[in-house]
Amino acid sequence: MPEKPGWPQQPVISIRISEVLRSRLDRLKEVLSRKSGENVTTSEVAKQLLESAREDRLEVAELLADVTVALAAARRKAEAGLSLARAEWIVLAYYVQLGVESHIGVLISPETMKGILEAFLAAYRARRGKKSSQDTHYLSNLPVLDKHGKPVFGAEAEGIDVSTAVERLIRKMDGPRDEEIWPQFAARNLYEFLEDESFGIEAMNQALKPHWPILWRVAARGHYLVRGFPVRDPSRSTASQHPWGPAISSVFEGGFVLSFATGSERDLSVLVSLPDARHAMYEIGPYPMITEFRSMLQDWDTSEPNSFWRGRWFFGYTAMETTVPPVWVRCQGSVSFGFTSEEWASLREAFRRAWEKPELQRISGELMLEYGEI
C-alpha cells in the first residue's frame, strides 16, 4: 500500500540583517507581544511585516527608537494644527494604553476615561467600510451594559453593537467611579483600531484632533510611568526657556510655610516648613510627588481611625490611640511625621491656597503636559 504523501513543507528563508533592523524588529516585538498578550518571536514579527507590506509598521519602530523625541515632535505638530502620520497616532495610542493600564500612583479619572472612549468612537465611525471584522474583539475589551446601565453577559449581550456599547459606557463615566463597570482595557481598542483597520489618514486626523488634549495627557502619563521621566522638548532644555514667569511667594497657614522653587531640571519642588516646635522641613518634588501629596490631602478621609493612604511616595494611616497625633505620614526614605487634626486641616488649606496662585497654575499646567495625568 503506497504511503500517504505528507503536507508540503513550507520553504524557509534565511537572511542576514543589520543590527539596526534587528533593533527595529525587537521594538515591534515588544509592541505586538503586548497587543496579543503572548510572546512573539523576531521571526514572527518579520513574517508579519513581509505579509502586510505596511511601511508604517517600520515607521512605528523608528519612532519607538527614541519615543521621547517622537512624542515631543507629535505634540509640536498637534499644537501647531498639523496632521499626524498613521505611525505617530499608533505610537501615541500605544502609550495611551500603557497610561490607562498602569496601576502605579493615582488612576485616571472617569472624565479622562470618557474622553478615551469618545476618541475611539470617533475613530470607529471614520473607518472605511460599514462593518469591522474586529467588532467581537472590541466588545471583548469592554464591559457591555444594557439600556439601564447594568452589566450583561452571554446571550443578553448579543445584539449590542460596538457603537451602542461605547455610548452606554460614555454615559456611565459621568457618574462616580464604579469598579464593576470600569473599562480598564478600553484603550486597547483605540491602539488596535489604528494598527489594524483601514482608514484615510486625513479623515482620522479630523476625527481624533478634538480629543488630542486627553489622549496626550494619558500618553504622557504612560511614558512617565514606563520610562521614569517626562516628555520634554529637547529644543527647550534650560530653565530660562521655560515660560514660568516670576518667583512664587511663600504661603503661610497655621504655623506651616510652603516655599517653592523651579530648578535647572525645569521642575517644581515645594519645601514644607513645619510649625516652629518641630524644627523640621521636608522637600516634596518633583511634580509627580507633589501631585500625589496634594491628592492625599484632598482625597484621604482621616476622620476615621485605622484608615490608610497607599501611594507611590507616601504611606498614611490614622492611629487608633487618642494619646498620639491621629494622622501619620511616612515619606519616601522612611521619614515619618505625625499631625493633629488641626494641623492636617491647616496643611490642606495651605496647599489649596497655594494652587490658587496663577503662577502655580501655569507651572502645573505645563508640567501636566510633560508628565501627563498622574
Q: What is the DSSP string of 175-209?
A: SS--GGG--TTHHHHHHHHHHH----HHHHHHHHG
pLDDT attached to residue 13? 47
Distance CA 43, CA 50 (A): 11
pLDDT attached to residue 27? 64
pLDDT attached to residue 265? 67
pLDDT attached to residue 238? 44
Does residue 123 contact residue 190 with C-beta atoms inside 8 Å? Answer: yes
* Domains of the chain as residue ranges with CATH: 54-227 (no CATH), 240-371 (3.30.2450)
Please list the rounded mean pLDDT of every run of 10 residues in the chain (374 residues). 50 52 63 63 60 68 92 96 96 96 82 97 87 86 91 85 94 88 94 92 96 97 94 63 68 96 82 92 94 94 91 90 83 88 96 95 93 92
Distance CA 296, CA 329 (A): 10
C-alpha cell of 92? 501615541
Looking at the chain, the number of H-run helices and the number of E-run strands are 14, 8
Distance CA 218, CA 223 (A): 9
pTM for this entry? 0.80
